Amino acid sequence: MNAAVLHGAKDIRLEQFRIPELQAGMVLLKIRRVGICGSDLHYFADGYCGSFVPTRPFILGHELTAEVVAVNGEGANMPAIGARVTVNPARACGFCTYCKSGRSNLCRQTIMLGSGSTNPPTNGAMAEYVSVRGDQCHVLPDGMEDGLGAMIEPLAVALQAIKRAGTVAGQRVLVTGGGTIGLLTALTARAYGAIPVVLSDIVAERRQTALDCGVDAVLDPTAPKLEQAVKTLTGEGFDAIFEASGARPALRQAFDLVRPGGTIVQIGTLGSADVPLPANEVMVKEIQFLGSFRYGDVFDEAIRLVASGRIDLNPFITSVLPLNEITKAMHLAGDKVQALKVQLHL
């Protein structure tokens, strides 16, 4: 099969690759669409992603729509041959304490599609075929386009973050960072009744995109009158802040902009260096500071949100290129001003 294989920094090659073997409990998928994620961009730019350093060349990609072409096993978890599915790329063990208590995103044995987090790295979906466990598949409604199906995984990240905060209905919500995940988090908060939903980003174009997508207001986090603007929007501060930029100043600012008793949810990756925190403010304001990692079992709910029209993901897909233009697609996706989601079709 054709596959886009990452060999190192700025070195991704279209090569012939063996079709994955179909082991027990697994299904073989023929890829129709695959999105380029921020983590794929890190692997492409640097050859590694955070602490994940691949030990050999591998195939990237974990946001996908595909057709089931073969299954090895039977049971309720097995999709039918011919079904069109998206995939939860995190294959948790299913047996540990976390898996059994509904927190499979904390499973220490997770195998992530298209990732250097395992040794050897696990091949992903930027290829004609990929193999996943049957229960990783989520069937897409007939009317949902392939591009939207490949957006369900990033939407699941946003949905997980909203769930970590508890309810957002009626709450004053700020999302810091207007990239794909930040925007998706803002739209999910809006779909679940947060009011107002405010997004902050230092890039003016991203603030405009957020307004176009339907957030109630935007903020420039470097503006001199920021505190006054927040006061006008919220009174005493935000009930919940979702930090999706991974920028240290954004996290620091969140502690000042959250109301007493409010919640901060960390979604963005802040790098490996420690960040100083205003611990006294956490205590005096009784701030809840939470992490949100990937997603739990939220994929079917994410599909319903999109299928019902509550969240329109079409504006997110800024380019769709064929797999053999992978290098061009990576460069396009790296343009943080012009691009939101760049996808590949097969």
**Residue range at the interface with Zn ion (CB under 5 A); choices 2-10, 48-56, 94-102, 111-119:** 94-102
Q: Please say whether the beta carbons of 311 and 187 come within 8 A.
A: yes
**Residue range at the interface with Zn ion (CB under 5 A); choices 45-53, 92-100, 192-200, 281-289:** 92-100
Among 29, 92, 187, 340, binds Zn ion (CB under 5 A): 92
Q: For helices 180-191 and 152-164, give the axis angle rounded to 10 degrees.
A: 60
**Residue range at the interface with Zn ion (CB under 5 A); choices 76-84, 99-107, 228-236, 252-260:** 99-107
d(CA 322, CA 281): 50
Q: Could you tell me the end-to-end alpha-carbon distance of the chain, in angstroms, rounded to an integer?
A: 11
Interface of this chain with Zn ion, residues 9 to 48, rule: CB under 5 A:
37
Helix (H) or strand (E) holding 339: none
Size of the site for Zn ion (CB under 5 A): 6
Is there binding between residue 107 and Zn ion (CB under 5 A)? yes
Is there binding between residue 99 and Zn ion (CB under 5 A)? yes
Please name the amino acid found at residue 171: Q
Nearer to Zn ion, 37 or 162 (CB): 37
Tokens matching residue 39: 């983590």
Is there binding between residue 96 and Zn ion (CB under 5 A)? yes
Residue 132, SS3 per DSSP: strand
Tell the smallest beta-carbon distance from residue 108 to Zn ion (Å): 7
Nearer to Zn ion, 106 or 203 (CB): 106
Tell the smallest beta-carbon distance from residue 222 to Zn ion (Å): 28
Q: Please say whether the beta carbons of 258 and 241 come within 8 A.
A: yes
d(CA 5, CA 346): 15
Residue ranges that bind Zn ion, judged by CB under 5 A: 37, 92-93, 96, 99, 107
